[in-house]
Structure 1
Amino acid sequence: MRVGEGRFCEEFSPGYYGVCAVGGMLSAGTTHLAITPLDVLKVNMQVNPIKYNSILSGFSTLWKEQGPSSLWRGWSGKLFGYGVQGGCKFGLYEYFKRLYSNVLVDQNRTLIFFLSSASAQVFADMALCPFEAVKVRVQTQPNFAKGLADGFPKLYKTEGPAGFYKGLLPLWGRNLPFSMVMFSTFEHSADLIYRNVFQRRKENCTRAQQLGVTCLAGYAAGAVGTIISNPADVIVSSLYNNKAENALQAAKNIGFSNLFTRSLPVRITLVGPLITMQWFFYDTIKVLSGLPTSGGSIRHLDETDSSAY
Structure 2
Amino acid sequence: MPSGLKDVVAIAAAPTYVLALKRDGTVTSWGANSNFVSAGWTSVVAVAAGPSHQLALRQDATVIQSGAGAPPPPEGLTAVAAIACGSQHSLALNQDGTVIAWGQTSVPAGLSNVVAIAAAVNNSLALKSDGTVVAWGSDFLLLQVPQALDSVMAISISETHALALRTDGTVIRWGRNLTSGQDQTAPPYIKDVIAIAAGPTESLAARAPLRFAKFEVVDHPTMHFRTFTGRDYTVEFSTDLGSASWTPLPGGRVTGTGQLATVLDDTQTTGGYRFYRFWEER
Normalized per residue, which structure has more helix? Answer: 1
TM-score over 0.5 for the pair = no
Q: Whose RCO is larger (CA < 8 A, sep 6+)?
A: 1
Normalized per residue, which structure has more strand? Answer: 2
**TM-score per shorter chain, which class?**
under 0.3
**When the two structures are superposed, what TM-score results if normalisation uses the length of structure 2?**
0.28
The structure number with the bigger radius of gyration is: 2
